[in-house]
Structure 1
C-alpha cells in the first residue's frame, strides 16, 4: 500500500507540476492579449518578446494609408513616368544624354564661322515638296508633289511662307532660317525642307548670310539680287544646274556654307517642326536659340502658342533685349478660310490638346503614314541635352497634366540675365538674394550648354 501509494503520490506530484507550468504559460498568453502585467515594463524580457502584439485601429489606418499611397504612386508612374526610363543598356538618363558621342564629334567640322553668334531661330514649316524646274513655275500644281486636298491654290501660300521666312531672316543678322519637313512622299527622294530650301535659292531673293560672307548669283530672273560683295558667289548655272531640275542642283551650289539657312529633314508634324527645329539649331550652331519665330498657317497659331510651346515649355511671354522670345507669323490661303479654321479645331488642335506630344492614336498613325522610308532623326546625339524630352510620351488623354517636367536648357533658370524668371526660380531668388555664399549659379547641368558656354 505504502509503495503503491507512494508511486501514486509521486505521479500526482509530477502531473501537478506540469499542470502548473501549463497554466502559467496560458496565463502569460492571456495577459499578453489583455495587456496584462506579462507585457508590462516589469515583465521578464522573454515574456515580453514572446507576447503577441495588439493590432490597433490606428495601425490598420496607417497600413491602409501606406497601401493607398503606394498604389497612387504606381498609377502615376505608369501614366507619366514610363517614358522617363532610360533606353536599354543605360543605367540612368544621365548616362545616356549630356554629351555627343566622341566618335560622332570626330567627324564634325567646327560650326560655320559666326554661327555661334546666332540666337534667333526662324522656322518655316513644310507642307509639300516642290519638284519644279524653275522658279517661274512655282505656282503650277504639276511642279509640286501634293496631297489631293492641297490641289488648287495651296502652293501659292507655301511660297508666301518661304518668302516671309527669307525676309525675316535677312533683316536679322542673328537669325538662322530653318526649313522643316521630312521625306513624307513615296515618290520623292527629297524632303519637304530640302525642296523649300531649293525654291528659296532659285527665287533670286536676298539670301540671309553669315557676317563676312555673301551669297549672290548672276541671273536674268526678275527676282534676282546682285551683290557687290565678292566673298562668296555662285553663278546661275551653279545654283540651278545645267539641264537638271533646279531643286536637284541647288545642294551643290557654291557658297552654301555662308548662308544663314539650313534644313531640318525629319519632322512629320507641327510639334516635330517646332521641337526638331530647336534641335537642329543646336546641331548647326552648337547653342540653343533665345528667340523663335514660326512662319506657317494662321489657323495653326493657337496650336503652336497654346500647345506646342507649352509642351516643350518654351517661354512665349518673355522678352529678351526688347524682343519677344516667341512670335508666330500666320499666312493663310486666299479666299474663305472658315472651313479650314473649323477643321483645325477638330482635326488638329483638339487632337494635340489631348495628346500634346503626338505619340498616341491618330497623331502617331499620321506620323507613321508620313514616314514611308523609315527615317530616324539624329537629335538624341546631336542635341543630347534634350534626349529625354525627345523621348517623352506621357499617357494618352493627359493633356497639360502630362507636360514634361524635368530640367531643360532654355528653362528660366536662376543664372543668366537673359533667362527671365519662372515661379520656382523667382521664389529661390527672393529667398537667397543678398545672402552670403550665394553666387546666383543655376542648374549646373547646363553651364556648358548654350549661351552660358560662350
Structure 2
C-alpha cells in the first residue's frame, strides 16, 4: 500500500482562477488586492488635494475684509469691541492733548530710598562700580538734573517732563526713570512758590511721566519722543534735555542729527558734578561716548550694541512700535549692511518733517 497522499488538482484550480476571473470581483480585487493597495491611497490623496486646491482658490479670490486702524481716530471700529482695544484704556485729558514741549531728564542710576534725607546717601542708590567712591558729587548732580527739569516744567504750561531710563541694574526692582520720579515726588520738587500746604495732599504733578526702556543716551532721546506721543497723542514741537554738560555735544550734534530734529527747536541744559567737569571727565566722555557714536550713529553695532545688551538685564521690550507706528522705520533703522556706512542717516518719513528746517 502506498503511503503517498492522493494528488490534488491545485494547479488546475489556480489555473482556472487566473484564466477565468469572476467579473463581479474584478473591481474589489483591483482596489483591495494585496499587490494593488497603493491605488486606493493615490485616489484618496488626489481627491483631498483637489479639494484643498479649490478651497485655496476660493480664499484667494474672495473679497478682503477692511480692518480698521486703531491708531487713526477717524477709522471705524465696527466689528471690534471697544474693550479689546488698548486705546479704550487711554483717557487723555484736554490739557495733555495741548502739550508741545518735551523736557527730558535721562537717568544715570537707580534711587532706592523712601525719605528725602536719603537722596545723597550712596547706600540708597544702585550704582555702577565707577560711580562709587567719590559719589557725593555725582548724586548731587543727579538730584540737580531732576530739580532743574521740574523747574522748567513748572515754568512752561505746555511742557511734559519725561524721566527716561530702563531697568539697567541687576540689583534693582525698578527703572531709572521710576526712581527719579519717586525722588522728585519725595522731595516735593513740583511744589512751586505759589503752592499751598493743601497741594501736598493732591494727586502727583500731572505733567510729568516716565519712559522705562531706554538703555543709552540715543534711546533716551528717541524713546522719550515716543513716550510723549503715548501720553499726549501728538509729537512735540520743542525738545529740551537736562543732563551732564559734558554730554552736550553728544546730544546736540549727534543724536539730534540722527533723528533729523531741527537745531532751532532743540535745547540742552548741562549740569556736571562739582569737581568732575574737568579735562579728565571730558576725555572720558569723548572716548567712550561721543566718538563711538561718530562711527555708529544709531548705536546698533559692536561696542555700543554690547553696552545695550549688558544693560538690558531683564530682557525688556518697549511698546513704541505699536503706540507710535509712525516711528517704526526710525526705531528699527540700523545702517551698516553690505556697502553701506554705519553713519547713514535715516531718510524715511518722520512725523516732525512738517515743521521744516530739518536735516536730510
State whether residues 246 and 272 of structure 2, in contact with CA within 8 Å, keep that contact through their aligned partners in structure 1: yes
Q: Distance in 2 between matches of 1:421 and 1:188?
A: 42
Q: After TM superposition, give the deviation of residue 422 of structure 1 in Å.
A: 5.2
Specify which of 213, 223, 246 is matched with residue 266 of structure 1: 213
Specify which of 253, 266, 272 is matched with residue 326 of structure 1: 266
Counterparts in 2 of 1:98 and 1:328: CA distance versus 1, 3 Å: farther
Specify which of 122, 125, 138 is matched with residue 144 of structure 1: 125
Number of the residue aligned with 2:341: 398
| Worse overlay, 137-146 or 120-129 | 137-146
Q: Distance in 2 between matches of 1:226 and 1:169?
A: 15
State whether residues 261 and 358 of structure 2, in contact with CA within 8 Å, keep that contact through their aligned partners in structure 1: no
Matched position secondary structure for 2:188: coil
| 1:118-161 CA-partner distances (Å, limit 9, x unpaired) | 10000000000001131112111111111111122311110010
Unaligned runs of 5+ in 2: 1-66
Counterparts in 2 of 1:207 and 1:391: CA distance versus 1, 3 Å: farther
Residues 210-289 of structure 1: pairs in structure 2 closer than 5 A: 227-228=195-196, 233-235=199-201, 255-256=203-204, 259-289=206-236
Specify which of 214, 239, 264 is matched with residue 292 of structure 1: 239
Q: Distance in 2 between matches of 1:226 and 1:292?
A: 26
Number of the residue aligned with 2:48: none
Q: After TM superposition, give the deviation of residue 112 of structure 1 in Å.
A: 2.6
Residues 331-342 of structure 1: pairs in structure 2 closer than 5 A: 331-336=271-276, 337-342=278-283
Q: Distance in 1 between matches of 2:101 and 2:87?
A: 27
Number of the residue aligned with 1:118: 99
Number of the residue aligned with 2:9: none
1:375 aligns with 2:316: yes
Q: Distance in 2 between matches of 1:107 and 1:371?
A: 30
Specify which of 144, 147, 154 is matched with residue 160 of structure 1: 144
1:409 aligns with 2:357: no
Q: Distance in 2 between matches of 1:355 and 1:410?
A: 23
Matched position secondary structure for 1:410: helix
Counterparts in 2 of 1:119 and 1:207: CA distance versus 1, 3 Å: farther
Residues 381-392 of structure 1: pairs in structure 2 closer than 5 A: 381-392=322-333
Matched position secondary structure for 2:263: coil
Number of the residue aligned with 1:26: none
Q: Distance in 2 between matches of 1:106 and 1:328?
A: 33
Q: Distance in 2 between matches of 1:334 and 1:392?
A: 37
State whether residues 99 and 385 of structure 1, in contact with CA within 8 Å, keep that contact through their aligned partners in structure 2: no
Matched position secondary structure for 2:352: coil
Matched position secondary structure for 1:275: helix
1:350 aligns with 2:288: no
State whether residues 114 and 186 of structure 2, in contact with CA within 8 Å, keep that contact through their aligned partners in structure 1: no
Matched position secondary structure for 2:299: coil
| 1:209-246 CA-partner distances (Å, limit 9, x unpaired) | xxxxxxxxxxxxxxxx773497xx554xxxxxxxxxxx
Q: Distance in 1 between matches of 2:300 and 2:313?
A: 17
1:128 aligns with 2:109: yes
Number of the residue aligned with 1:302: 249
Q: Distance in 2 between matches of 1:296 and 1:229?
A: 30
Q: Distance in 2 between matches of 1:310 and 1:421?
A: 12
Q: After TM superposition, give the deviation of residue 339 of structure 1 in Å.
A: 0.8
Unaligned runs of 5+ in 1: 1-94, 209-224, 236-253, 318-324, 414-418, 425-454
Q: After TM superposition, give the deviation of residue 207 of structure 1 in Å.
A: 4.5
> What's the TM-score, normalizing by structure 1?
0.58
Specify which of 178, 199, 221 is matched with residue 194 of structure 1: 178
Q: After TM superposition, give the deviation of residue 98 of structure 1 in Å.
A: 9.4
RMSD: 2.4
State whether residues 165 and 220 of structure 2, in contact with CA within 8 Å, keep that contact through their aligned partners in structure 1: yes
Counterparts in 2 of 1:312 and 1:104: CA distance versus 1, 3 Å: farther
